[in-house]
Amino acid sequence: MAITNRRNFLRTTIGFSAATAASTALGINPLNALVGCGSPTSSDQSSTGTDGALEFSQEPLGYEYNALEPHIDARTMEIHYTKHHTAYIKNVNEAIKADELSYTTPEELFANISKLSAKVRNNGGGAWNHTFFWKSLRAPMAGNAPTGELLEAINQAFGSFDQFKEQFAAAGAGQFGSGWAWLVKENDALKIGSTPNQDNPLMDDVELSGKPLLGLDVWEHAYYLHYQNKRPDYISNWWNVVNWDFVAEQL
């Protein structure tokens, strides 16, 4: 265990140093670059390749794999980030290149997703959704809850924070098979819903549309090592690690 933790520490430290150096060179606050405080609906998790086309990239987590324990275990986080997320990014970039797509931002890609291949859709969604998900998490906090304008908006839309949590948890637990639960904003209204597979509310043909404020991964790879088939328990404990500051920034 000590060797594993040291390895994770070194991995995180190296990622931090690289991100800091690159960000400083670009004139960006290195802490914002590391934890992804920029708007996730902009191209901050992507870049353009030599041909000018969209190219997704994987940002550093900004925290160690064990930072979310006991609610999300270190081994799940490591596999989720280094295997699943990495594969989505690799596959979508290959598909964009193979299909000779000329989109330059994720928003543009998703706005035309109904015209594109299943490989672009599934892996593009997986790449973007996971970057958004990592940013919405932080170390456990006692009494973790939104405040200020975000709390007021939630209370107005859903009656209370507790009622919001009930509706959101139901959307996640009730998603048949793999998918995501979302809190979105559309026309100044907050809505809760879910999407299957790696779809997200930015896609042009999904039932739930709007600007994502909060997303929860309910694929089994996000929780099965620790919770097995008990998805409701995973959702219940996930509230302890939600980064409400990040959610408020999206609002």
Give me the residue spans of the domains in the chain: 2-16+45-135, 148-250
pLDDT at res. 34? 29
Q: What is the pLDDT of residue 142?
A: 82
The CATH number of 148-250 is 3.55.40.20
**Residues 172 and 231: beta-carbon distance below 8 Å:** yes
Query: Residue 5: what pLDDT?
Result: 39
* Token output for 163: 């009622």
Number of residues that make up the chain: 251
Give the CATH H-level superfamily of domain 2-16+45-135.
Fe,Mn superoxide dismutase (SOD) domain (1.10.287.990)
pLDDT of residue 25: 33
In this prediction, residue 31 carries a pLDDT of 31
Looking at residue 51, what is its pLDDT? 57
Q: What are phi and psi of 231, to 5 degrees?
A: -60, -40
Report pTM. Answer: 0.80
**Closest Cα partner for 248 from 194, 198, 185, 156?**
185
Residues of the chain predicted below pLDDT 70: 1-52
Q: Which residue has the tokens 């990622």?
A: 15
What pLDDT, on the 0 to 100 scale, is given for residue 79?
Answer: 97
Q: Exposed, middle or buried by CB within 10 Å (0-12, 13-18, 19+), for 105? A: middle
